[in-house]
Amino acid sequence: MATSTVENYVKQIYLLQQEYSPDLVPMGRLADIMGVVPGTATSMVKALADSELVEYEPRGGLRLTRGGEQLALHVLRRHRLVELFLVKVLNLDWSEVHDEAEDMEHAVSDKVIEKIDAFLNYPEFDPHGDPIPSAKGKVPHMKWKSLADCQTNCESRISRVLDQDSQFLQFVERNGLTPGTKIKVLNRDYHADSVSLEFKGRNGVTLGLTAASKILVQVME
C-alpha cells in the first residue's frame, strides 16, 4: 500500500503533467509545489522510479508511468469525491474543503468512497468543476478555455476554477463567478492586463488576466 507521501507526490506530478504536457515535469517545479528542497524531491523521485511509478531523466525531468498515473487518478478520485460530499452533504463552504480533503483522501477506504459515489449519484465533477476519475481510472474529457483566452462577445458558461486557494475561491464566489454562471467577455486589454465581463445582467465587470486564466469556461452552442 502506498504511503500518503507517495500518494501526494504522484498526485502532484499528474497535475503538473497537465500543465507541462507533452514535456517532462521539471524537478525544480515539483520541489516548489511540494514545498521541499530539490535534493529531497530528487530522493523521493528516485524511490518512485525504483517502484516503477515514474520515469526519471536526471537532467530532463520526469513523467508518471502507467502504474503511477493510475495511482494518481485513484487519489484524485478520493479527493474530489470527498470534497463534493463535504459540500453537498455536510454543507461546508467550497473554499474550505480542499484542505480537509487533503487529509481525508489518505484515510478513507475504497469501500466508503464507492458508497459516497453512489450516494451522490455518480457525479462527474467536484465543487470546483474538476473532473472526478471513475473507479476504473477514466477521466471525463472536456474542452475548456480560460477567461483570459476565450473569444470576445461569445456566450459561455463557467465550468471550472483551477485555483483551490481559499481566498481566491472566496473572491470568485463574492463576484458571482462560480461554475454554472453564464458569462460573456466583452473586451480583453493585454496592455492593462484585464478583461471586461458581462454576466447576470452586470456590465463592465473587470478581472485581471491572472485571475481570468484560473477560471475555465465552455462555449455555449
How far is 105 from 84, CA to CA, in rounded Å?
12
189-193 contacts, C-beta under 8 A, 24 or more apart: none
- What does pTM read for this prediction? 0.91
The helix/strand/coil state of 54 is strand
Is 80 exceeded by the pLDDT of residue 2? yes
**CATH for 4-64, options being 1.10.10.10, 3.50.50.100, 1.10.230.10, 3.30.70.270:** 1.10.10.10
Q: Say yes or no: domain 145-219 is CATH 2.40.30.10.
A: no
Distance from C-alpha of 17 to C-alpha of 69, rounded to nearest angstrom: 10
Q: Specify the domain boundaries for CATH 1.10.10.10 within the chain.
A: 4-64
> Quick one: cell of 203?
456590465
Three-class secondary structure of residue 20 per DSSP: helix
Domain(s) of CATH 2.30.30.90: residues in the chain: 145-219
Q: What local confidence, expressed as pLDDT, does residue 86 receive?
A: 97
pLDDT, tens digit, 9 for 90 and up, residues 171-186: 999 888 999 999 998 8
Over its C-alpha atoms, the chain yields an Rg (Å, rounded) of 19
Asked if 74 and 133 touch (Cβ cutoff 8 Å), the reply is yes
Give residue 203's pLDDT: 66
Taking only the tens place, the pLDDT of each residue in 75-123 is 999 999 999 999 999 999 999 999 999 999 999 999 999 999 999 999 9
* pLDDT number for residue 210: 93
- pLDDT band at residue 201 under the 50/70/90 scheme: low
Note the pLDDT tens digit of each residue in 121-131: 999 999 999 99
